[in-house]
Amino acid sequence: MKRFVVLCVALLISLFSRGAFAQEGLTKIADNVYSYVDVKNGSPANSFAANAGIIVGKDGIVVIDTLISAKEAQRFIKDIRRVSDKPIRYVVNTHYHLDHAFGNAEFARLGAVIVSHANDRKNLESNGEPTLKNAKNFGLTDEDMAGTTIALPTLTFTERMTMELGGERIELIYVAPSHTSGSILVHLPDKKLLFAGDILFTDFHPFMAEGDIAGWLKNLDYIAALDVERIIPGHGPLSGKKDIADMKSYLVAFDTKARELAAKSGDAAAIAAELKKSLPARAQGEWMIPYNLKAKYLKEKTD
């Protein structure tokens, strides 16, 4: 009896702890599609809460983004192996930023071909190594980045690319420069599903330092007209068309107000406090407001 009680308690504890960590591991989004979504721990070592996912075809797996480090990629690979033991054939980088592409080498080692837009291959080629060397500036320790090396995409495209992996059709789409000059959308038309990368941040203040606002709005309009029901953002929970509209409002509000305020003052903290009042509310990443101001709007003034 005593043993039975101990067993029940152990079972309950394991159930509760699974519940408490329900956001950990890959979430099934649709048949053959799994992703990290709604990651709450936004620390640098936890890939700034970046989402990443997989599409499992009959012949193998396509990985969408690879997280921030070798260690994080290994965690991802472990989670992938809980879902499927098929070979990992391709990695698609939605863009070149560290939290989406610095895990590439771990997948290349398994034989995966890494695919990106030509512009962001160039961006990773010129910025990858310096960023890795200065990872401390992003709040990352040597231990966080242990074993991390940059692996560049070996296959690139400029407008569109279609992948057909054992019954799963995947369209890689480039609309215009946006979050970066080579950010792409990953569309699964048969599933009405889209991986938006960092073209969509939901409930996170977006990183806009390299943003091309006009092109970014074009991307959001493109998504709004697309036949999709569910959207996996680069950061945040599983999203939909309403989040695309919110993202558009955010970018327009930020861009308009930041230009207006930056024309009058160079005080990033004061402008950020003022900006916050007029921006749509977002629960996470508030530090991005002064960062974006300094890196884009105040910088444009002095350039």
Q: CB nearer to Zn ion: give 97 or 187.
A: 97
Report yes or no: 18 and 10 within 8 Å, Cβ to Cβ: no
Entry field: residues in the chain: 303
- Quote the least distance from Cβ 65 to Zn ion, whole Å: 10
Q: Is 97 in the site for Zn ion (CB under 5 A)?
A: yes
Q: Hey, which residues between 179 and 208 contact Zn ion (CB under 5 A)?
A: 198
Question: For residue 183, which of 194, 171, 197, 200 has the smallest C-alpha distance?
Answer: 197
Q: CB nearer to Zn ion: give 212 or 274.
A: 212
Q: Which residues contact 113 (CB under 8 A, 6 or more apart)?
A: 89, 90, 91, 154, 155
Q: Is 117 in the site for Zn ion (CB under 5 A)?
A: no
- Quote the least distance from Cβ 288 to Zn ion, whole Å: 11
Residues in contact with Zn ion, counted by CB under 5 A, come to a total of 2
Cα separation of 274 and 257, whole Å? Answer: 9
- Quote the least distance from Cβ 180 to Zn ion, whole Å: 7
- Choose one: 91-99, 117-125, 129-137, 212-220; the region binding Zn ion (CB under 5 A): 91-99
Cα separation of 290 and 141, whole Å? Answer: 23
Q: CB nearer to Zn ion: give 97 or 121.
A: 97
CB atoms within 10 A of CB 297: 23
- Choose one: 95-103, 137-145, 165-173, 184-192; the region binding Zn ion (CB under 5 A): 95-103
Cα separation of 92 and 100, whole Å? Answer: 10
Range 84-119 burial, b when 16+ CB lie within 10 A, else e: eebebbbbbbbbbbbbbbbbbbbbbeeebebbbbeb
Q: Is 282 in the site for Zn ion (CB under 5 A)?
A: no
Q: CB nearer to Zn ion: give 200 or 261.
A: 200
Q: CB nearer to Zn ion: give 93 or 156.
A: 93
Contacts with Zn ion, residue ranges (CB under 5 A): 97, 198
